[in-house]
């Protein structure tokens, strides 16, 4: 551990911090071991042996593929909607001061601040009142709503660091609003938007609580997993799916980190 000489961490603190980090990571690491176990009836540890068989079994499962496909579609469309709405909102809130500005920020943050079950059941009862049948689009309605905040937080942070004089200079030099947006604003906020979009994607891809209320008979990958968790039927396949989900969510998170790491604002601080 590197430290600058005069500030050396006490051993107890180092140990507590290290153990804390280990506590946060070992359970996830365990998933990777179980994906290759030969045991298929219980969660026996240590695994009696290792095999690649379950990767193949999972690969040939149409229900897993369908759930994965649905999850990817939902996450993609929700992310696009959230990026448009979140960016518009962030631009409005950070560019000008107006009456009700605080209320707007609160409105954006509320869907993630209140427990997911409240959002879920509220949407479900609204759908039943309005007699909207559950479909692909009801899932999207729910997901886009709570994804806006992630894009918004990233965009607001970047807008705050982008000086307003850049925009004024561009206008003074004769560019109109659209040219300014295209050539000055977009390059400045681009990486923040991309990072926000990736986090929104990860959030939507993983969401289960709201989805259980807004999906009818369809299952996204998290819903598929939840059913397996409540009533385990095919543990080895679940193990493999869990591993794939970890890999699919980790990559956008790392990418989002590298896109925003020089910023003073933390990319994921909005969740």
Partner 1 sequence: MTAASPVTETAQGTAILPGQGGWTGSLSDTFWRNPKLLLILMLTPPVLWLGIIYLGSLFALLAQSFFSIDEFSGMVQYELTLKTYGELFRPANLDIIIRTVSMAAIVTVAAACVAFPIAYFAARYARGKWKAVFYIGVMLPLWSSYLVKVYAWKLILAKEGILTWIFAKLHLTWLLEAWLAIPIIGGYSLSVSYTGTFLVFLYVWLPFMVLPVQAALERVPGSYIEASGDLGATPGQTFRHVIFPLALPGIVAGSIFTFSLTLGDYIIPQIVGSSRLFIGQAVYAQQGTAGNIPLAAAFTVVPIVIMGFYLWGAKRMGAFDAI
Q: Which residues, 94 to 123, sit near partner 1 by CB under 8 A? A: 95-96, 98, 104, 107-108, 110-111, 113-119, 121-123
Site for partner 1 in 151-190 (CB under 8 A): 171, 174, 176-178
| 229 lines the binding site for partner 1 (CB under 8 A) | yes
Q: Is 238 exposed, middle or buried (0-12, 13-18, 19+ CB in 10 A)?
A: buried
Please report, in angstroms and rounded to a whole number, the separation of the first and last CA atoms in the chain.
Answer: 30
Site for partner 1 in 184-213 (CB under 8 A): 199, 202-203, 206, 208-209
For partner 1, the binding residue among 5, 46, 48, 133 (CB under 8 A) is 46
The stretch near partner 1 (CB under 8 A) out of 52-60, 72-80, 140-148, 188-196 is 140-148
Residue with tokens 């080895």: 236
For partner 1, the binding residue among 48, 102, 230, 264 (CB under 8 A) is 230
Site for partner 1 in 26-45 (CB under 8 A): 27-28, 30-31, 34, 42-45
Q: What is the DSSP string of 175-220?
A: --HHHHIIIIIHHHHHHHHHHHHHHHHHHHHH--HHHHHH-SS---
**CB 192 to partner 1: min, Å:** 16
- Residue 60 or 99 with smaller CB distance to partner 1: 99
**3-state DSSP assignment of residue 216:** coil
- As a 3-state breakdown, the chain gives helix, strand, coil percent values, each rounded to 5, of 75, 0, 25
| 135 lines the binding site for partner 1 (CB under 8 A) | no
**CB 197 to partner 1: min, Å:** 14
Count residues binding partner 1 (CB under 8 A).
90
| 271 lines the binding site for partner 1 (CB under 8 A) | yes
* Cis bond upstream, residue 267 (ω within 30): no
- Residue 119 or 191 with smaller CB distance to partner 1: 119
**3-state DSSP assignment of residue 232:** coil
Residue with tokens 């990072």: 195
Q: Which residues pair with 37 in a beta bridge?
A: 50
Q: Which residues pair with 50 in a beta bridge?
A: 37
- Residue 135 or 249 with smaller CB distance to partner 1: 249
Site for partner 1 in 241-260 (CB under 8 A): 242, 245-246, 249-250, 253-254, 257
Report yes or no: 86 and 148 within 8 Å, Cβ to Cβ. yes
């Amino acid at each position: 551990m590197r430290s600058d000489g005069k500030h050396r961490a006490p051993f107890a603190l180092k140990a507590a911090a290290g153990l804390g980090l280990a506590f946060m990571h070992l359970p996830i690491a365990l998933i990777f071991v179980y994906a290759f176990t030969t045991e298929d009836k219980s969660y026996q540890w240590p695994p009696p042996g290792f095999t690649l068989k379950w990767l193949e079994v999972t690969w040939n499962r149409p229900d897993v593929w369908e759930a994965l496909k649905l999850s990817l579609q939902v996450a993609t469309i929700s992310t696009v909607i959230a990026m448009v709405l979140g960016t518009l909102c962030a631009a409005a809130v950070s560019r000008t001061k107006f009456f009700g500005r605080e209320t707007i920020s609160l409105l954006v943050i509320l869907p993630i601040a209140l427990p997911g079950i409240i959002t879920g059941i509220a949407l479900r009862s609204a759908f039943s009142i309005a007699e909207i049948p559950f479909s692909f689009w009801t899932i999207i309605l729910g997901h886009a709503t709570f994804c806006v905040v992630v894009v918004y937080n990233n965009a607001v942070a970047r807008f705050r660091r982008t000086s307003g004089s850049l925009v004024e200079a561009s206008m003074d030099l004769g560019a109109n609003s659209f040219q300014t947006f295209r050539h000055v604003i977009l390059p400045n906020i681009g990486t923040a938007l991309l990072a926000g979009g990736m986090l929104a994607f990860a959030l939507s891809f993983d969401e289960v609580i709201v989805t259980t209320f807004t999906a009818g008979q369809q299952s996204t990958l998290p819903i598929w997993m939840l059913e397996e968790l409540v009533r385990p039927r095919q543990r080895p396949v679940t193990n493999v799916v869990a591993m794939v989900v970890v890999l699919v969510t980790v990559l956008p998170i790392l990418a989002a980190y590298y896109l925003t790491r020089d910023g003073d604002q933390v990319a994921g601080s909005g969740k």
